[in-house]
Structure 1
Amino acid sequence: MRNIQEFLKDFQREMNWEISNNNFKESKSSLLNNFMLLTTEVSEIAEEFRSIFNKTRKLVKEEELSEDEAFKLVKEMYKENIGKEIADCIAYLVKFANYLDIDVEDSFFDKMEEIKTRENKDQR
């Protein structure tokens, strides 16, 4: 993950896509704009899943495949597109982390350890 963070620092600088750090007003506007762009990318993942479900139903009806067979085929068809949308989301999340000087890898493993050791309220 550190390699991705370093790559994106340089890439975003090169593309002039960095979050503004000039003053509060510009930073706030830039952060909110990037957050809006992130939510758009998350919505695009949802659209891909919706397409997968619709295409699965269509194959079940038209090709007389079982749901499981159709779903397996369709997941493979949409895999590349969803991968691209996930990459877009990661890029925006890492942009926020880089802006705040957060080491994503450390934060990730710290959070997983916290989850592992806390009492899960969903399990009784």
Structure 2
Amino acid sequence: MKDIQNFAKQYQKEMGWEISEESYAESRDSLLNNYMLLTTEVAEVAEELRQAFNLTASYVENGMEEKKAFELAKDQIKENMGKELADCLAYLLKFYNFFGIDLEESFYAKMEEVKNRKNKDLVKSTK
């Protein structure tokens, strides 16, 4: 994770895509712009999911077994899904880097916090 975070920091600097630190107003505008861009990318992930669900329904309608239909649909959106998730990650890394947050440390600390929650959701089997 550290390598990815460092790569993103250097890449964003080379491309001139860092979040501005010139002034409060520029930082605020840059943070809001990047947040809007992130939410746009998250919506594009939703579009890929929608595509997979529509493909699955179409295949099932044409007689394919549901599990096989969904596997085929997942395979068909896999490349675009990877691109959209990578876009999301790139924007998230901008925020990590702007605020000087260590991605790896933050991730593992949060997972430990979730693991130890008293009010966590119970996982129910769908089988």
Q: TM-score range by the shorter chain?
A: over 0.9
Q: What's the TM-score once normalised by structure 1's chain length?
A: 0.95
Q: Distance in 2 between matches of 1:42 and 1:121?
A: 24
Q: In structure 2, give the amino acid aligned to 1:96.
A: F
Q: In structure 2, give the amino acid aligned to 1:85.
A: E
Q: Distance in 1 between matches of 2:100 and 2:120?
A: 32
Unaligned runs of 5+ in 2: 123-127
Q: In structure 2, give the amino acid aligned to 1:107.
A: S
The answer for the alignment partner of 1:70 in structure 2 is 69
Q: Distance in 2 between matches of 1:8 and 1:42?
A: 19
Q: In structure 2, give the amino acid aligned to 1:4.
A: I
Identical amino acids, percent of aligned pairs: 57
Q: In structure 1, give the amino acid aligned to 2:102.
A: D
The answer for the alignment partner of 1:3 in structure 2 is 3
The residue correspondences of 1:54-65 to structure 2 (distance < 5 A) are: 54-62=54-62, 64-65=63-64
1:40-88 C-alpha deviation (Å, 9 max, x unpaired): 00000000000000011111122x1011110011101111110110010
Q: What's the TM-score once normalised by structure 2's chain length?
A: 0.93
Q: What is the root-mean-square deviation of aligned Cα atoms in Å?
A: 0.9
Q: After TM superposition, what 4+ stretches of structure 1 lie above 3 angstroms from structure 2?
A: none
Unaligned runs of 5+ in 1: none
Q: In structure 2, give the amino acid aligned to 1:86.
A: L
